[in-house]
């Protein structure tokens, strides 16, 4: 009986530990609108190469010439590695110009979910592998 009580406590602790991880991930459609495509040109300001998504920040000039910091959510670091990117300056250099294509944020904020990135050397790399002809179902 004593061992059963300890086992129950251990299971409860494990459940609590992993339930936070599972609920932390979100559906793309919860924050971004696949029907509203954006294309941004900007200078890379910062990168967070993390899971479950990598985050890049770009300085983007608006129509008035003002520079605004835009956040770009990318797929996981593993997907970026599969697309041929390496962590660090071997693939992305702070201060270099990039063009980001992707889905606009639903709240109208300065955020985009990246589907492709155009590199300074002119190459376009697709980083989202969903159906480009029809966005994900809502």
Model pTM score = 0.72
For 67-135, the three-class secondary structure string (H helix, E strand, C coil) is EEEEEEEECCHHHHHHCCCCCCCCCCCCCCEEEEEEEEECCCCCEEEEEEEECCCCCEEECCCCCCCCC
Q: Which two tokens stand for residue 6?
A: 């300890």
Q: Which two tokens stand for residue 57?
A: 């920040």
Q: Report pLDDT digits (tens) over 72-85.
A: 999 888 888 888 88
Domains of the chain: 28-126 (2.40.50.140)
Q: Distance of CA 28 to CAs 2, 3, 115, Å?
A: 45, 43, 12
Measured between alpha carbons, how far is 70 from 92 in angstroms, rounded to an integer? Answer: 16
Q: Report pLDDT digits (tens) over 107-133.
A: 999 999 999 999 999 999 998 766 554
């Amino acid at each position: 009986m004593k061992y059963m009580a300890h086992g129950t406590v251990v299971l409860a602790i494990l459940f609590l530990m992993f339930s936070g991880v599972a609920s932390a991930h979100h559906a793309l459609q919860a924050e971004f609108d696949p029907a509203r495509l954006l294309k941004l040109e900007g200078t890379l300001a910062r990168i967070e190469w993390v899971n479950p998504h990598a985050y890049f920040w770009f300085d983007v000039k608006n129509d008035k010439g003002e520079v605004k910091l835009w956040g770009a959510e990318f797929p996981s670091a593993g997907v970026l590695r599969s697309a041929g990117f390496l962590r660090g300056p071997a693939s992305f250099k702070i201060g270099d110009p990039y063009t980001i294509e992707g889905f606009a944020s639903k709240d109208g904020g300065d955020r985009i979910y990246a589907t492709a990135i155009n590199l300074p050397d002119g190459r376009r790399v697709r980083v989202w592998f969903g159906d480009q002809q029809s966005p994900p179902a809502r």
